Every structure is written in structure tokens, then in C-alpha cells.
Amino acid sequence: MCLQIVCFLLVRPVSKSMYRKINKVVAELLWLELIWLIDWWAGIKSGFRRLEDFPMPFWLALFVEGTRFTQAKLMAAQEFAASRGLPIPRNVLLPRTKGFVSSVIHMRSFVPAIYDCTLAVPNNQPPPTLLRIFRGQSSVLKLQIRRHSMQELPETADGIGQWCKDVFVTKDALLEKYFAKGSFSDQQLQNIGRPIKSLIVVILWSILLAYGIYKFVQCSALLASWEGIAFSATFLVLIVIVMQILIQSSESERSTALTVPPKDPSQQRLIQK
């Protein structure tokens, strides 16, 4: 609409025919954008309906913070919270509740509960990264899961969004307690062991991949000569180097920072307190 007003004021006095052409293109683009938004929202609703008739039990993971946690993003979240009069987080980012609200509204009739997962890395442990996984380096993580019945949630969209924000305030206090005491609660932990099913799946996939690699090496003429072996080794080294570069470029510290409103000295004092 603003673009059409600008064209009306600047282009129409010069050339009416040029104004008609530009206005036609702008109107078509706006109409296509409206159609795309309608189709996108209809696709989301139909996706929720398909989940209602899904033949197997399923989990739908929602990352309400919407981005990876970094110190820069935490500071941006603190500044935003101070500017809006919200509780200032110390260990979590501010939740983005639109997707969560939409999921609850469309799925509460056939999803019985919500599991609130809080993940923490001990102070004496390095944080897990994709590069550490590829290098075979393990990390220790602590996870607390709380179950909330879907009937506990409010009925309105605003109430659901506020419920999600309140959960994150509780989560922030829980993490503050964990980093101070080294545990989520004083209750005795029960070792549930490692599931056998996961071990069987890993073994079967390892056997299948090893057999496929063996048959490829056996049938491939590329490894029949020293030139082919050298080419294969060089190709594998290049793949490893490219993967490491891509993984390092996707680290959370290199991601795009959040946009925040202009700083205010009074808000800065609130954050420091």
C-alpha cells in the first residue's frame, strides 16, 4: 500500500501509462503474497489434521526459543525484556509463542500431554557440538522432564501464550538453581539404564552400512589401481575438510544476532541488577 501511494505521488504526474503498469505489477504481487499466506496457513492446519489420524504414536518437538542459545542472544533477550517490562531471563531466551499456541489449539483434542524438557550442561563439562560428535568426543548432559496434562492449559490463545511464558520463567529459575547446587532437585535419582532397542538398531545399521561398503569396494573398478586408490583417498579427505568447514560455519556463535530496540540507560541498570 505504501509503495502504491509513492508511485501515485511520484510516477503518475510524469506518466499515467507507466503508473498503470507499475500499479498493476504491485497489485499482482500483493495478491500473490496474500494467496501464499492463505495456502501456507491452510497447509499448517491440514498437517495438524493428518497427525490426528496418524497410525502410530508420535512426538512433536517444539523449540519455542526459535534459535540457538548464545551469550550475545541472551543479552539481546535481556534488553528486549527490559524494554517491554518482562521478567529478565538469565539462562534462557524469550519464548516465541505463536507456533506453540497454534499447535496446542489444533492438537489438544488428540494429544494428551506436553512434556517440558529442561537441558543443562554441567559447569565442568564442555558444551556438545556437532564437531565434537564427529570427533567421537562425548559430553555429559542433565535433563529434567515435566509432564503437563493438556487439560491444565487455558482455552484461549492469549492464555496459552502466557502459560508458555510462565513455564519459561520457571525454567529459568530451575536452571539458576541447577548451576548453583549442581542438581535440579533434592530427590534421589534412579538409574534406568540404557535401552536395548536402541543398541539393536545401531548394530543393525552398522552391519548394513559395513556390508554395503564391502560390496562397493568389491565391485568397484576404481580401487583396482593405485591411481584409483589415491583418487578415492583424496576425495574422502576433501569431504572431511568441507564437512569440518561447514560445521564450524554453522556454530551458534557465528549465527545471526537478534535485533533489539535502542538501548536506554535505565534499562541497562535493570539488567545489571
Residue 192: what pLDDT? 74
Statement: the pTM of the whole predicted model exceeds 0.85: no
User: Element (H or E) spanning 148, and its range?
Assistant: strand 142-149
The pLDDT value recorded for residue 241 is 83
How far is residue 82's CA from residue 272's CA, in Å, rounded to a whole number? 11
For the chain, percent of residues with pLDDT exceeding 90:
23
Burial 128-151 (b: 16+ CB within 10 A, else e): ebeeeeeeeeeeeeeebeeeeeee
pLDDT value, residue 17: 62
Asked if residue 19 has pLDDT above 60, the reply is no
Which of 179, 173, 164, 14 is closest to 95 using CA atoms?
164
Of 49-58, 87-96, 209-218, 252-261, where does mean pLDDT reach its minimum? 252-261
Residue 106 has pLDDT above 50, yes or no: yes
The mean pLDDT of 142-154, rounded to a whole number, is 90
The better pLDDT of the pair 45, 79 is held by: 79
Q: What is the mean pLDDT of residues 129-136?
A: 77
List for the chain the helix, strand, coil content (%; round to 5).
Answer: 60, 5, 35
| pLDDT tier, 46 (very low <50, low <70, confident <90, very high otherwise) | low
The pLDDT > 70 percentage for the chain reads 71
User: What is the chain's mean pLDDT, rounded?
Assistant: 77
Q: Nearest to residue 69, comparing CAs of 244, 261, 258?
A: 258
Instruction: Provide the pLDDT for residue 215.
Output: 82
Q: What are phi and psi of 98, to 5 degrees?
A: -60, -50
Instruction: Specify whether the CB–CB gap between 247 and 130 falls below 8 A.
Output: yes
Residue that wins the pLDDT comparison between 14 and 154:
154
pLDDT band at 269 (very low <50, low <70, confident <90, very high): very low
Given a contact cutoff of 8 angstroms between Cβ atoms, the answer to whether 176 and 90 are in contact is yes
Q: What is the mean pLDDT of residues 225-252?
A: 77
Residue type for 34, please? L
How would residue 186 be classed by pLDDT, with cut points 50, 70 and 90?
A: confident
Quote the pLDDT of residue 267: 43
pLDDT number for residue 189: 72
**What per-residue confidence (pLDDT) applies to 130?**
75
Quote the pLDDT of residue 4.
45
Do 121 and 141 form a contact (C-beta atoms < 8 A)? yes
* Domain residue spans of the chain: 2-52, 61-273
Mean pLDDT calculated for residue range 66-70: 83
pLDDT at 148: 94
